[in-house]
Amino acid sequence: MNDSPLQVLTLPTSPYPDQRPGTNGLKKKTNVFQSKKNYLHNFIQCIFSSIDLRDRQGSTVVVGGDGRYFNSTAIRVIVQMAAANGVGRVVIGQNGIMSTPAVSCVIRKIKAIGGIILTASHSPGGPDGDFGIKFNSANGGPAPEAVTNKIFQLSRTIEEFAICPELRVDLGTIGKQSFDLENKFKPFTVEIVDPVESYANSLRNIFDFAVLKELLSGDNHIQIRLDAMHGVTGPYVKKILCEELGSPANSAINCVPLENFGGCHPEPSLIHASDLVETMKSGQYDFGAAFDGDGDRNMILGKHGFFVNPSDSVAVLAANIFCIPYFQHTGVRGFARSMPTSAALDMVAKATKIQLYETPTGWRFFGSLMDAGRLSLCGEESFGTGSDYIREKDGLWAVLAWLSILAVRRQSVEDIMTDHWRTYGRNYYTRFDYEEVDLDAAVEMMLDLELMFSDRAFIGQVFTMGEKKYQVEAADSFEYSDPVDGTISRNQGLRIIFKGGSRIIFRLSGTDSFGATVRLYIDSYERDINKLFQDPQVALAELVTIALQLSQIHERTGRRGPTVIT
């Protein structure tokens, strides 16, 4: 403990107009946080000010990050401001490292008032990359919209922030550090913890580690390849999969978190995890997976590079859910997916007579259902899967869930997937992203589409493509009424639903100084067993043509095609 009390200062500042948190917090270019005076301090103060002072006094806050550039600097500022704002204890992963699912886990275990996660998810890192700050509530999940709105409103009028500038914390040494502050009766405590252990304990209670160890290191073990993409998941993979479950050390690659993710884009996709995809194509490995920067997303691959679409992944987990011991004990309360995610999960829910929820994009909607005891398993098309043991999506959990299914069924990833299609039908699926398009043009296109869909004559319209006919069964602007608290979320995307279950979805995703992002989702349901193994782009071509004709997106945006195809 330091000998003399540390001074707490209240310093003047000026507001910024652009600190509205999105679904994943406040994300900007790193140099915005570094170069704009008090930009970081303002937002952190607004997080603390959004918490009632009576709740904040003496409370515990969890802090962790994905290790990207500026991570440690930001954590030191957060600690100084937490102390000055009445927080009693801050729990931090060693060296500032803690995955997003692990932060959620720790918040719930120690009953913290919330957590601050420093990540820009799957966006690039480094001085020229992105940086982000996300606040999670006491349930361990992303702060609800009412809280993020309050943070934004505070950010527009902030005049001062509180800080203890002389407080110096050692992020590298596990243990407790105490600090006396002026005018404070109790010392302020910083606790540096092993970022893996508490999270690993939870996984031990969910999965049968003995069965998984036999699968990965027994006499007839499978060969796996896991790519942490130099993100935060690396230490978790090494500790749990390699050291504890016995997978060879060389089965896990890129496991050292780097500030710039090794110069790569830490997104678990066929494009950005292409090295893993090529390695899997060799046939040397039975199972492959990649994780994103902060550890909440995952991509699953089978032998010879067989790709499991994220929408299919959550459906397979649902269909085989009792391969996971946790669900044998808790039962299954419900399934959920985000609206743009394919309806593959719907088919499983229908067959098993388990309640299905279709929510807007954003994990907080799942968290509300979990808190109410209505949801056990959920997923989204953007490589996110999770369950109700925490309130975040969880890449490593998804991998252990898949390995549990492999251990029980003793089939390959591809055989499990093809059996699933034969049982439930196949949802061919793709997403087109049109990034940095003119905002006015994007908004005008969406308004025109909404007007078209609202015309009664549009319902029943038939689009003939070759020998196949697509008849519109419903079309709307998706709105969601939360069954727990009745909150209504409007304008969550435009949908065309065809007879037979196929869908076209348009969604205006994000707007910033570089323009807007328009996402086009195509979900084509096929039940004919003779058409289950087509090339997805061939199977989807007709619906893509319809979508492009209706929206005129290329003509309206001046683009010849999408920026990214997923």
pLDDT in tens, 77-122: 999 999 999 999 999 999 999 999 999 999 999 999 999 999 998 8
**Averaged pLDDT, 458-463:** 96
Token pair for residue 550?
Answer: 């209706």
CA distance 536 to 518: 21
CA distance 344 to 18: 38
**Averaged pLDDT, 185-190:** 91
Q: What's the DSSP call for residue 239?
A: I
513, pLDDT greater than 90: no
Reported confidence tier of residue 563, pLDDT bands at 50, 70, 90: confident
500, pLDDT greater than 90: yes
Torsion of CA 409, 413, 419, 421, to 10 degrees: 140
What are the phi and psi torsion angles at 347 (to 5°)?
-65, -40
> What integer pLDDT is reported at residue 2 of this predicted model?
46
**Averaged pLDDT, 429-446:** 93
> What integer pLDDT is reported at residue 174 of this predicted model?
98
326, pLDDT greater than 90: yes
386, pLDDT greater than 50: yes
What amino acid is encoded at 417 in this protein?
A: M
For 42-81, write each residue's pLDDT tens digit.
999 999 999 999 999 999 999 999 999 999 999 999 999 9
Percent of the chain past pLDDT 90, that is, above it, reads 92
For 145-163, write each residue's pLDDT tens digit.
899 999 999 999 999 999 9
Reported confidence tier of residue 1, pLDDT bands at 50, 70, 90: very low
**Averaged pLDDT, 345-360:** 98
Considering the chain, what is the average pLDDT of its residues? 95
What amino acid is encoded at 518 in this protein?
A: V
472, pLDDT greater than 90: yes
Strand partners, 26: 133
* CB 222, CB 413: distance < 8 Å: no
* CB 256, CB 238: distance < 8 Å: no
CA distance 45 to 157: 12
**Averaged pLDDT, 377-404:** 97
Quick one: which of 33, 17, 14, 37 has its CA closest to 160?
14
CA distance 133 to 3: 33
240, pLDDT greater than 50: yes
257, pLDDT greater than 70: yes
CA distances from 287 to 252, 368, 403, 467, 504 (A): 12, 33, 8, 39, 32
CA distances from 257 to 69, 214, 478 (A): 11, 28, 39
121 is catalytic: yes
> What integer pLDDT is reported at residue 4 of this predicted model?
86
Reported confidence tier of residue 561, pLDDT bands at 50, 70, 90: confident
> What integer pLDDT is reported at residue 564 of this predicted model?
73
CA distances from 480 to 255, 384, 447, 477 (A): 39, 20, 19, 10
Domains in the chain (CATH in brackets) are 9-194 (3.40.120.10), 199-424 (3.40.120.10), 426-565 (3.30.310.50)
566, pLDDT greater than 90: no
Q: Is 494 helix (H, G, I), strand (E, B) or coil?
A: strand
The residue annotated as part of the active site, out of 59, 121, 155, 251, is 121
Torsion of CA 67, 80, 154, 70, to 10 degrees: -20
514, pLDDT greater than 80: no
Reported confidence tier of residue 24, pLDDT bands at 50, 70, 90: confident
Following DSSP, what letter does each residue of 106-159 receive, concatenated?
A: HHHHHT-SEEEEE--TTS--STTSEEEEEEE-TTSSBPPHHHHHHHHHHHTT--
